[in-house]
Amino acid sequence: MTADDSRDGELLGRIFLTRVIEPGDEVGGRWVREFGVGEVVRRLRGGEVLPGVSEQRWAGLVARAAQADAERDLEAAGSAGARFVAPCDAEWPRQLDDLGDARPLGLWVRGRPSLRVWALRSVAVVGARACTEYGAHVAAALASGLAERGWVVVSGGAYGIDGAAHRGALAGRGATVAVLACGVDRPYPRGHAALIGRIAEQGLVVGELPPGDHPTPSRFILRNRVIAALTRGTVVVEAAHRSGSLSTARAAQRLGRFTMGVPGPVTSALSAGVHELLRGEAALVTDAAEIVELVGDIGELAPVRRGPVLPRDLLDPPVRAVLAALPGDRAAPADEIALGARTTRDEAIARLYELRALGYVERHGDGWKLTRQAVMSVRTGHDPR
């Protein structure tokens, strides 16, 4: 047997097993690790029991095996423009190996780019399906900003935050990956058929399940571990306490990936799950630059956040001290101002003349008073000049 024959046998064996063993099944993963793909396939076809399962479950697996046809699945995938990527392939993202026995048996992939290369610089953006306008806006803005910085946005193709993230990345003319909980030839939800088709043309559509397979609630949850493992970090935009997107964040934490959350109103139930994450080990982020600061290379720092620099901020400290000593509601004599500024009368007068030239104070007989513009500046925090 040649190396090519061995590889083809391994490939067909794994395709066969994706039809028999459910995603994330650690017992099945342990069989593959301990006995090898070929032996597991042989026993399933021959009915020779493998350890670790009940008779009832084994009977179900054997029944599935009797219906599985790897060649047929490979042909169906080819018709849909999909390929099968196995752990022995150069395109396989090695970070998925962190899942141990829960690692996918392989991945079905639609799209031209290399999954391994794209996964090296990727971030997951996930959240509630029934999101708010705020959540959709934030998810799209984050994804667009990440795309503009050369990062791949990974999500689950669902309604709500997932769809907003994919659209944001596409709008930013960037890269995006949809990880589905069904066959990659069967877009789900159906309302996103056009979006998933566009992702397949411009990015990648990925899934563990063979062509034609349908999603179930458990498959959505198990799919999330792939999103977490594939990426450098996971950002949760909106999530209630029982949101499935929180499972992606928890998987990311278990795998040692960065976990991030975008805060929302404290009165919003859709942000309650995110806020719980933020009370734990998750990092608070508000834009793409802050995400990249965490997941990117050394030196990719977000800009320092600060308020606007006002003209009075540029005054010398002694001048600012005199300005601060002026009462806001009346004129004051130079002696009183000097006392408040902790300086001499002559020094205070000199500074007051500087402030008058700058439009901050005016002379009222023997006293000095803040101009109307200066009073407004103190009250509002904005210098109107």
- Is 309 a residue whose pLDDT tops 70? no
Average the pLDDT over 277-281 and give the result.
Answer: 94
Q: How far apart are CA 223 and CA 209, in angstroms?
A: 10
Q: How far apart are CA 201 and CA 81, in angstroms?
A: 10
- Is 23 a residue whose pLDDT tops 90? yes
> 384: pLDDT confidence band, cut at 50, 70 and 90?
very low
Average pLDDT, the chain: 91
Q: Pick 81 or 374 by higher pLDDT.
A: 81
337, with CB counted inside 10 A (0-12, 13-18, 19+), is buried
In this prediction, residue 1 carries a pLDDT of 47
Given its phi and psi angles, is residue 297 left (phi above 0), alpha (psi -120 to 50 degrees) or beta?
beta
In this prediction, residue 164 carries a pLDDT of 98
Average the pLDDT over 18-23 and give the result.
Answer: 96
Distance of CA 246 to the CA centre of its chain: 12
Spell out the domain ranges in the chain.
Answer: 3-68, 98-295, 311-380
Could you tell me which of 31, 34, 38 has the C-alpha nearest to residue 14? 38
Burial 18-54 (b: 16+ CB within 10 A, else e): bbbbbbbbeebbbbbeeeebeebbebbeeeeebeebe
Q: How far is CA 361 from CA 313, 341, 358, 365, 379, in A?
A: 16, 15, 8, 13, 15
Average the pLDDT over 361-370 and give the result.
Answer: 90
Integer distance in angstroms from the first to the last C-alpha of the chain?
84
pLDDT tens track for 180-205: 999 999 889 999 999 999 999 999 99
Q: How far apart are CA 216 and CA 369, in angstroms?
A: 73
Q: Which CATH code is given to the segment(s) 98-295?
A: 3.40.50.450
- Is 136 a residue whose pLDDT tops 80? yes
Q: How far apart are CA 152 and CA 102, in angstroms?
A: 24
> 303: pLDDT confidence band, cut at 50, 70 and 90?
low
In this prediction, residue 160 carries a pLDDT of 97
Class of CATH domain 311-380: mainly alpha
Could you tell me which of 284, 380, 274, 288 has the C-alpha nearest to residue 328? 380
Q: Supply 191's token pair.
A: 């309302």
pLDDT tens track for 74-94: 999 999 999 999 999 999 999
In this prediction, residue 312 carries a pLDDT of 76
- Is 177 a residue whose pLDDT tops 90? yes
> 302: pLDDT confidence band, cut at 50, 70 and 90?
low
In this prediction, residue 2 carries a pLDDT of 54
Q: How far is CA 141 from CA 82, 119, 169, 304, 334, in A?
A: 30, 21, 9, 19, 54
> Poorest-confidence range of 19-28, 45-54, 279-288?
45-54
- Is 14 a residue whose pLDDT tops 80? yes
In this prediction, residue 298 carries a pLDDT of 55
> 329: pLDDT confidence band, cut at 50, 70 and 90?
confident
Q: How far apart are CA 355 and CA 45, in angstroms?
A: 92
This prediction's pTM: 0.82
Average the pLDDT over 248-255 and give the result.
Answer: 96
Q: How far is CA 273 from CA 77, 95, 155, 218, 222, in A?
A: 38, 27, 18, 20, 19
- Is 380 a residue whose pLDDT tops 60? no
Q: How far is CA 131 from CA 195, 310, 344, 361, in A?
A: 18, 38, 62, 52
Measured torsion, CA atoms of residues 54, 57, 58, 60, in degrees rounded to the nearest 10 = 160
Average the pLDDT over 141-164 and give the result.
Answer: 97
Average the pLDDT over 347-357 and give the result.
Answer: 91
